Amino acid sequence: MIVVLRPDATKKQIDHIIKRVKELGLKPHVSRGVERTIIGLIGPEDVLRVTPLEVFPGVEKVMPVLKEYKLVSREFQKEDTVVKIDGGIKIGGNRIIVMAGPCAVEKKDLLLEIGKKVKEAGATVLRAGAFKPRTSPYSFQGLGEKGLKYLHEVGKRLGMATITEVMDASQIPLVAKYADILQIGARNMQNFNLLKEVGRAKKPVVLKRGMSSTIKEWLMSAEYILANGNFNVILCERGIRTFEDMTRNTLDVVAISVVKQLSHLPVIVDPSHATGKWGLVSAASKAAVAAGCDGLMVEVHTKPEEALSDGAQSLVPDNFSELMQQLRVLSKAIGRTI
């Protein structure tokens, strides 16, 4: 249910409405837009029959939200959400944000070397995994807390925000201590306990689409995070599993536009995991930008052939720099910057 307030609604009136809906057992979420302030109500809507909120001072109208994903929907918030990251970075605005770095933290000196290269090329967020979910139990699993410390130190030294994956609810305090953005990987998109906890953590979250998940399921997973108080959510399209085996996954470019019609949350794209082949990353990145994404997450490594994880899909710094130059031209053509 959405309570639309009058433009002249006072703070006292808003506070009174919030107090009353809490007494009714509903959870209120206030969204202040450019023209209107609205209050989204989560909980059994039939309780509103006890007290029709239309009669309260400051209320213009009360409307049901037809979508199952209520807080995520455009019905709840018409304006695009802009997620603010430490360092003045905004995801969801006119500027397309690029996150880049190795798949995994391997050595601090190597991470610093790669970080310098991607920052020089124009990336503003350093990405690298400290905990690595792998298909094989015998593959490199990441450096854990040591890797988090390396990522934090390199990010601070370079003046870059950092993002890394959190795999379990018990890891959230540790990862949040070192990283600016928490990433929920494709395999954990429907790990609902984890989603609830990152919702309570209040740190910006990148939620990757599950490899076999529909757009609705993806948005419902985001709803878990928002419903627990965290509206700083960024959706990430990273390719889905289809019958096609020429690429690692199938990049669903149209999903960018579909999600932007349905939701106010920013959408970024991971062309590295979507294609699985470094030679396809450039084309996938351009397609994503042309389709209206708000950012990219690209894997870069100075020696992909020696990478401990996903070397085949990693760009070398020179190729990444060339891609960034091409994306600047493309983004300008569509009225944006990168």
Q: What is the pLDDT of residue 122?
A: 97
Give the pLDDT mean for 39-49.
Answer: 74
Q: In a 3-state reduction of DSSP, which class is residue 209?
A: coil
Lowest average pLDDT, out of 23-37, 215-229, 316-330, goes to 23-37
The closest alpha carbon to 233, from 189, 273, 275, 272, belongs to: 189
pLDDT at 285 over 70: yes
Give the Cβ contact number of residue 197 at 10 Å: 22
pLDDT tens string 93-149: 999 999 999 999 999 999 999 999 999 999 999 999 998 665 666 566 678 999 999
d(CA 236, CA 282): 17
pLDDT score recorded for residue 209: 98
DSSP 81-142: P-EEETTTEEESSSBPEEEEE-SB---HHHHHHHHHHHHHHT--EEE-BSS---SSTTS---
pLDDT value, residue 148: 96
Rounded to 5 degrees, what angle do the CA atoms 120, 123, 126 make? 105
What's the rounded mean pLDDT across residues 219-226? 97
Q: How many CB atoms lie within 10 A of CB 132?
A: 22
Q: Which residues contact 284 (CB under 8 A, 6 or more apart)?
A: 251, 269, 271, 274, 275
Query: Where does 210-309 show beta strands of DSSP type E?
Result: 233-237, 267-269, 295-299
Average pLDDT over residues 198-222: 96
| Residue 8 DSSP code | T
* pLDDT at position 34 over 70: no
Phi, psi of 123, rounded to the nearest 5 degrees: -70, 145
pLDDT > 90? residue 166: yes
**Domain topology for 83-333:** TIM Barrel (3.20.20)
Asked if pLDDT for residue 164 goes beyond 90, the answer is yes
Fold of the CATH domain 2-63: Alpha-Beta Plaits (3.30.70)
Q: Which residues contact 234 (CB under 8 A, 6 or more apart)?
A: 83, 91, 92, 181, 204, 205, 206, 207, 265, 266, 267, 268, 294, 295
Residue 49 above 70 pLDDT? Answer: no
Q: Average pLDDT of the chain? A: 92
Enumerate the domain spans of the chain: 2-63, 83-333
